[in-house]
Amino acid sequence: MSVRTWSPMVIVGSCALAMFAGVAATGPSTLRTVLVIWFLAVCPGLAAIGLLRLRDPWLEVALVPALSFAIDIIVSGVLSYAGLWSASTAIIILAAISVSGALAQDAVADRLAHQRKPS
Amino acid sequence: MTVTPSAAAGTAPLPGLAPQRPAAARTVARALRVRGPDALCAVLILAAAALWIDSVRDVEIRRITDLGLVAALPFGAFVALGMATASFALTLRHPNVSTPLAILHLVVLVVMLHGATSLIDQEPAFNVVWRHAGVTDYVMTTGMVNPDIDAYFNWPGFFILAALATRATGLESALGLSGWAPVVFELLYLPALVVIARAFTADRRLAWIAVWLFYVTNWVGQDYLSPQAMAYLLYLAMVAVILTSLSRRTAPDLAAWRERGNRLLLRLRIRRPGVALAEVEPAAPVSPAQRAALLLICVVLIAATVGSHQLTPWMMLASLLVLVGLRRSTARGLPLITLVLLVAWMTYLATAYLDGHLKPLLGQTLDVQQAVAANVSGRLQGSHGHLLVVRFRLGMTALVWILAVVGAVRATRRGASSPSHLLLALAPAMLAILQPYGGEMLMRVYLFSLPFAACYAAQALMPSPGRRAWQLPLILAAAGALLVAGFLFTRYGNERATLFTPAEVRAVDRLYAMAPPGSLLLAASPNVPWKQRHYADYRYQLLSRQLRFEGPPPSSAQLATEVARYMRRNRTGRAYLIVTRSQKVYDDVLGSQRWGSSTDIERAVGRSPRFSKVFDDRDGRIFVLRHGRRAP
């Protein structure tokens, strides 16, 4: 199973778990911490990077956490400056971004692959 | 344990049959897709990790000295580090290095070297972490940032994210996330470091050595729960894109560089490079749409960094300027975009900070004398043990750069140097003369240069082509022993001064319980586990920065009088003075003010009738002024 095949499934699954852990669950636990950090560190970036279909897996892995945290910072920062910050709102928006990216991966990636030519 | 038939029978294997490996080795080998001695390396590194964890867990923090953690480490920890170093050296004995095995070694190395205190500390170490937790707590509580409080709130991106993570995990404080932050951040750096190293060379061994060198020489310790740790990840990711998909590495350009280099070398009377240009693995080709998307990703990374950290965006800008200016990258618009984002942020969202600080900041610009004083001479103080640690740090830094220069010369002679890496190694130095950055600029310059300097330093450790295969493992084992031993001093040399005990944390809890909001909270020196909550509810001051004495050091009575005067003059409500074990240790190890230390202050107020002690525990004491007494 290639990275392309499993990344949307990972994103959607992680988002579902993160929604449960970050929005619905009560009380701290190690599992909840791991789920939330995994979601914040992986899902938004994986959804975006998956769209590009890069040929260098190391570059993809390098970009996923960095881009994830960058998107997290921008989304939660905009909410904060707008006076709308809440963890639940931010998680829901990030999950929406991630799932949208995951669902769009096939369509956009096919188009990108079609256009691909070495620069 | 599985017993092989031959072993059970006590006989040698039959001729023609492969010798049986232990069951554990076979299992690990299958998981890592490795064969032969590689499997034993995998077992060796896992055994080293187990031994390290078992040994380090038993460290008694009271045995840590001014030399740092190394004084308290048991013998087993050193054996574990030796095993890890030897195993890594053996793993790289032949050119076809198993990638999973190399990754396993680096992951274990990161956990061992950068996670040592995560296993030992009873409370989160480093007072700055507590402060960062306090800023996060403020955002979590109010949902907003208040730029008027301090600089952190003018670059709040990281803290807003930390607030999101803390609230979503259900933790009370971001301190709950800080324990393993160094290991997590260092592991997150790994893929970007691999990309950077592979953009330097097609030799896989050289690339793995470069990444390994980064980890064993990264003593700077900026990977705790902090904006700079996050921003560094974004910086590395951006550079990884620039060096690969957005690099300009076409043949004519390289040839031109080589020709220019040849002319320069001839002029310098250095031997003309005669070996053909070493192959650098070409970056995977990207379509125009992918290129545009990668540019957009870089902009997102830069934007998030601009709002999170003061220094890192300038490092990004410096790196982009040299790469684009010297035509090493096709991302020609990125420097301008970075500059626009920086100016926009400072103009609209960091004005509260810059209003009061712009003049002093500009005054420090290009002030080389002040930069040297803050970054070098200002740090050469403290106890004898600490001075030794500082010298180790200077020595380690010098060693990395000497190796890098040797590697650069060797690479140039072989025609294998990567101009982009050289430029990126040198670019951060431009900022060293621009700002002292609170005496931390040289450390930051070293950190930002390290991924690229490590590539050249790795080149210095590589034997010349055609040498015997066992030379590299021997060189690596020797270099590893030296660098890992040095790392224990350089990275964990301040451990005695940065760790906190549960008793100190209880003292601060007691302080918050007794002091009404709005009170003035005073500490003798900066090393206090406070501000993790009530960040803006109190006024926090440090006597070491507020008191001034001309002439000879004051007597105990004079010191108490000045402290009392300060507490009366500054109070808006009540005033409390807390002196903890860590403050006294901090002054002992890192040096105190000329007029006195935390111990002197504690002794002075303890003897003075102007003060009463309202809390006294083993590691912390709280003093208030007696009512009815006025300072003269």
User: What does the H/E/C string look like for B34-92?
Assistant: CCCHHHHHHHHHHHHHHHHHHHHCCCCHHHCECCEHHHHCCHHHHHHHHHHHHHHHHHC
Check if A41 contacts B (Cβ < 8 Å).
yes
Region B574-602 average pLDDT:
92
Region B364-392 average pLDDT:
77
3-state secondary structure B560-603: HHHHHHHHHHHCCCCEEEEEEHHHHHHHHHHCCECCECHHHHHH
A102-106, B158-162, B302-306 — which is least confidently predicted?
A102-106
Residue type, B272: R
Quick one: pLDDT band at residue B283, thresholds 50, 70, 90?
confident
Does residue B201 contact residue B415 with C-beta atoms inside 8 Å? no
Does residue B248 contact residue B171 with C-beta atoms inside 8 Å? no
In this predicted structure, the answer to whether residue B270 has a pLDDT above a threshold of 60 is no
In this predicted structure, the answer to whether residue B16 has a pLDDT above a threshold of 50 is no
Nearest CB to B233 within list A48, A69, A91: A69
Chain A residue closest in CA terms to B308: A73
In this predicted structure, the answer to whether residue B454 has a pLDDT above a threshold of 70 is yes
The pairing of beta strand B575-580 with beta strand B620-625: antiparallel
Quick one: CA torsion of B123, B129, B131, B136, rounded to 10 degrees?
-100
Check if A78 contacts B (Cβ < 8 Å).
no
Nearest CB to A28 within list B171, B234, B300: B171
CA distance A9 to chain B (A): 22
pLDDT of residue B412: 81
Strand partners, B613: B623
In this predicted structure, the answer to whether residue B2 has a pLDDT above a threshold of 60 is no
Residues of A with Cβ-Cβ distance to B451 under 8 angstroms: none
A84-93, B9-18, B397-406, B477-486 — which is least confidently predicted?
B9-18
pLDDT of residue B255: 63
Region B306-331 average pLDDT:
94
The whole-chain average pLDDT of chain B stands at: 87
Give me the residues of B, 292-311, that contact A with CB < 8 A. Answer: 293-294, 297, 300-301, 303-305, 307-308
- Using alpha carbons, list the distances in angstroms from residue B142 to A118, B298, B349: 50, 31, 18
Check if A100 contacts B (Cβ < 8 Å).
no
Instruction: Indicate which of A30, A35, A73 best probes the interface with B, i.e. most B CBs within 10 Å of its own CB.
Output: A73
pLDDT of residue B360: 73
CA distance B240 to chain A (A): 7
CB contact under 8 A, B143 and A83: yes
CB atoms within 10 A of CB B588: 19
- Using alpha carbons, list the distances in angstroms from residue B107 to A58, B89, B131, B188: 15, 15, 29, 10
Residues of A with Cβ-Cβ distance to B237 under 8 angstroms: 62-63, 65-67
Does residue A83 contact residue B256 with C-beta atoms inside 8 Å? no
In this predicted structure, the answer to whether residue B173 has a pLDDT above a threshold of 70 is yes
In this predicted structure, the answer to whether residue B267 has a pLDDT above a threshold of 90 is no
CB contact under 8 A, A36 and B194: no
Nearest CB to A72 within list B161, B294, B297: B161
Quick one: pLDDT band at residue B595, thresholds 50, 70, 90?
confident
In this predicted structure, the answer to whether residue B246 has a pLDDT above a threshold of 60 is yes
Task: Measure the CA–CA gap between B110 and B595, rounded to whole angstroms.
Answer: 42
In this predicted structure, the answer to whether residue B628 has a pLDDT above a threshold of 90 is no
Task: Measure the CA–CA gap between B321 and B408, rounded to whole angstroms.
Answer: 22
In this predicted structure, the answer to whether residue A118 has a pLDDT above a threshold of 80 is no
Q: Which residue has the tokens 């190694």?
A: B425
pLDDT of residue A7: 77
Check if A38 contacts B (Cβ < 8 Å).
no
Quick one: pLDDT band at residue B632, thresholds 50, 70, 90?
very low
Quick one: pLDDT band at residue B281, thresholds 50, 70, 90?
low
pLDDT more than 70, % of chain B? 85
Q: How many helices (DSSP H) and strands (DSSP E) are in chain B?
A: 29, 5
Nearest CB to A119 within list B291, B293, B305: B291
Q: How many helices (DSSP H) and strands (DSSP E) are in chain A?
A: 4, 0
B49 against B464, higher pLDDT: B49
CB contact under 8 A, B240 and A63: yes
Quick one: pLDDT band at residue B551, thresholds 50, 70, 90?
confident
CA distance B198 to chain A (A): 10
Q: In this predicted model, what pLDDT tens digit does every residue of B175-190 receive, in sequence order?
A: 999 999 999 999 999 9
pTM for this one? 0.89
Nearest CB to A70 within list B168, B192, B300: B300
